[in-house]
């Protein structure tokens, strides 16, 4: 990892909160407990010297490889995200560079291919093991369970019973009308 002054960026995601459980040292706007302190993302980003400020707004300061990791991570999980430069003095009493997009691109281009490949691999591993990915897998399982039986056949059966004036699954054959 090439040495550099910490850079600042703002990462916003689809719901504006912190669904990715990135590390944070800032204040909380939402009362939800912080799950990220022991997360794999927190561990990896910590090694890149990345810290987050203001839990709900996604202000990050650290090495540019943390920026790259964040982008790869969100992209792998198909999470809509946006990244912009963090303005000067947004985070008080912390020395960081506010880099516009062209400068950030030049820094990223300066990374060698091997470094980018390893950052991508880390991001994919973290994404696959994330709470977000687990929640999505569980959600898909739930949807599959709900759709497990042939609804069309059940509706046809119900229609036949109702046309006959019978209540479904009733023990007596007393007509409804």
Query: Stretch 79-93: mean pLDDT, rounded?
Result: 81
| Confidence class for position 122, pLDDT limits 50, 70, 90 | very high
Domain-embedded: residue 117: yes
Query: Which pTM does this prediction carry?
Result: 0.70
Q: What is the pLDDT of residues 6-18, one digit of tens each?
A: 888 888 777 655 6
Is there a domain that residue 36 lies in?
yes
In a domain, 166, yes or no: no
Q: Is residue 1 part of a domain?
A: no
DSSP string, the chain: ------EEEEEEETTSS-TT-----S--SS-S---GGGSHHHHHHHHTT-EEESTTTTEEEE-HHHHHHHHHHHHHTT--EEEEEPPTTSSTT---EE--HHHHHHHHHTS-HHHHHHHHHHHHHHHHTSHHHHHHHHHHHHHHHHT-S-HHHHHHHHHHHHHTT--TT-SS-----
Structurally, the chain folds into a number of domains equal to 1
Which tens digit of pLDDT belongs to each residue from 125-152? 988 888 777 778 888 888 888 877 777 8
């Amino acid at each position: 990892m090439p040495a550099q002054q910490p850079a600042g960026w703002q990462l916003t995601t689809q719901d504006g909160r912190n669904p990715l459980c990135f590390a944070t040292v800032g204040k909380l706007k939402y009362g939800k407990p912080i799950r990220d302190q022991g997360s794999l993302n927190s561990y990896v980003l910590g090694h890149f010297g990345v810290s987050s400020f203001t839990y709900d707004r996604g202000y990050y300061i650290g090495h540019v490889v943390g920026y790259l990791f964040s982008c790869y991570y969100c992209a792998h999980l198909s999470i809509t995200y946006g990244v912009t430069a963090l303005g000067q003095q947004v985070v008080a009493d912390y020395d960081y560079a506010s880099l516009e997009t062209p400068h950030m691109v030049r820094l990223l281009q300066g990374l060698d291919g091997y470094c980018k490949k390893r950052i991508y691999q880390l991001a994919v591993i973290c994404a696959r093991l994330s709470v977000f990915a687990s929640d999505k897998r569980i959600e898909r399982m739930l949807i599959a369970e709900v759709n497990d039986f042939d609804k069309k056949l059940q509706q046809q059966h119900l229609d036949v019973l109702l046309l006959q004036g019978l209540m479904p699954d009733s023990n007596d054959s007393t007509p409804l009308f």
